Amino acid sequence: MRFGIHTLDEVSVKGKVILCRVDINQPVDRATDSLKSTHRIEACVPTVEELLEGGGRVVLLAHQGSDIEYKNYYTTRPHALVLSRLLGREVKWIEDVCGPLARQAIRELKDGEALLLDNVRFCAEEQTLFEKNLKLTHAQQAQTQVVSKLAPLADLYVCDAFAAAHRDQPSLCGFEQLLPSCMGRLFEKEYCVISQLMQSPQRPCVFVLGGAKVADAFLMMETVLKGGAADQVLTGGLVGNILLAAKGEDIGQASLDFIRKEGYQEFIQSSQALLERYGDKIQLPTDLVYVQGCAMDIGPNTAAAYQRAIRAAKTVFVNGPMGVFEKPETEAGTRMVWDALADTQAFTVVGGGDSVTATKKYGKTQDIGYLCTGGGALIRFLTGEELPVVRALRHAAQVFPLGGDRP
């Protein structure tokens, strides 16, 4: 038991039907019926491998995209191919989530075999709209189609989807009401790294916050400054621009217009209080790179100062690039910060989709202490909220002692 949740160390999986929820949601290339990245699939391989090696009958549940980001809303068939290649054994796939075909395929599984079901979000109850508008309790989630049809066929639920742990949805929080449950290896690892970072980081502990998810970045900044985890916050990207504007610095009319257009005007006011209270800990860019009057990257002096801070730190957490790193004229700031991340002695954690992309682009994957699969979950975790999936797994640990018979 760790964090009040059962781990894979406590279960025997031989001959058991295991529902294993993973987060292998990736950008899709519809034209070639393939995935543009396989980072998250690679990350869940150790758990799946362990379950198969132990003789489990593994049923994988996953989502791919959603109704609101329709371009990525897709079947999980390409994921099964990637998984098969990575595992070096066939992962079966079925064009069904919890209907008769899926249930038959589950019944036919043998020890050491794996089956990936189709996109769980093809079931409406798994959609964000349902989550937000209906706010089903966890007990109600147990009555949804996917949970009520699949749980009776299974002996154990394993959640390895830390990246989706902030989602209050049936395939994530419903099975824990009916089945003995535990977290997978990736979930456990990400939970450990992040709680360590929050509770007892090696100091100095530096947070580098940039990018364009402004609301999340400010929430996180406030949390780590209030809670004392951060000794220093280095800011860049749109987040840095907003803080500069809050301080009354001139960032150019085009930058201000962009902030207004994106709907972040209110943060210029609200971040003033943050600056007054923690001004000594928050570092702002001292120079910027402009494209058509708009500030799109931190300048060379700022990047050099951030490099020094990162190299002097013992722990560094990064979320969000320093500029529009996708374009060559505004990538230098991000590249320089990532150079320092690669050669600092500090323990480094990088989280967020675009930040992981930057890490790959600059060839630093091997040099980062921990690349976190979760964006939203990570941010919500850092704000101190108990994540819905964590709550559900803790509930299961109390109701279903592992090793016991099914109720």
- Least distance in angstroms from the C-beta of 164 to ligand ADP: 15
> 237 contacts which partner out of ligand ADP, Mg ion, none, CB within 5 to 8 A by kind?
ligand ADP
The residue among 201 and 351 lying less far from Mg ion, judged by its C-beta, is 351
CB-CB contact of 319 with 377 (8 Å): no
**Which one among 321, 374, 376, 388 touches ligand ADP, defined by CB under 6 A?**
321
- Least distance in angstroms from the C-beta of 70 to Mg ion: 17
> 326 contacts which partner out of ligand ADP, Mg ion, none, CB within 5 to 8 A by kind?
ligand ADP
Stretch that binds Mg ion, among 4-12, 45-53, 345-353, 385-393 (CB under 5 A): 345-353
* 323 touches ligand ADP by CB under 6 A: yes
**Which one among 237, 353, 374, 388 touches Mg ion, defined by CB under 5 A?**
353
Helices (H), 20-116: 39-53, 77-87, 100-107
CA distance 126 to 144: 9
Indicate the DSSP class of residue 55.
T
Site for ligand ADP in 271-300 (CB under 6 A): 295-296
For 59, phi then psi, to 5°, come to -110, 115
- Give the total of residues touching ligand ADP (CB under 6 A): 19
CA distance 158 to 176: 9
> 319 contacts which partner out of Mg ion, ligand ADP, none, CB within 5 to 8 A by kind?
ligand ADP
Burial 188-199 (b: 16+ CB within 10 A, else e): bbbbebbeebbe
> 238 contacts which partner out of Mg ion, ligand ADP, none, CB within 5 to 8 A by kind?
ligand ADP
What is the enclosing helix (H) or strand (E) of 319?
Answer: strand 315-319
Helices (H), 174-264: 185-199, 214-226, 237-246, 253-261
- For residue 341, the tally of other CB atoms under 10 A from its CB is 25
The residue among 22 and 378 lying less far from ligand ADP, judged by its C-beta, is 378
The 354-383 site mask, x for binding Mg ion (CB under 5 A), equals: x-----------------------------
Tokens encoding 286:
């001292």
* 353 touches ligand ADP by CB under 6 A: yes
> 241 contacts which partner out of ligand ADP, Mg ion, none, CB within 5 to 8 A by kind?
ligand ADP
- Cis peptide bond prior to 204, omega within 30° of 0: yes
**Which one among 83, 324, 340, 371 touches ligand ADP, defined by CB under 6 A?**
324
* 54 touches ligand ADP by CB under 6 A: no
CB-CB contact of 357 with 377 (8 Å): no
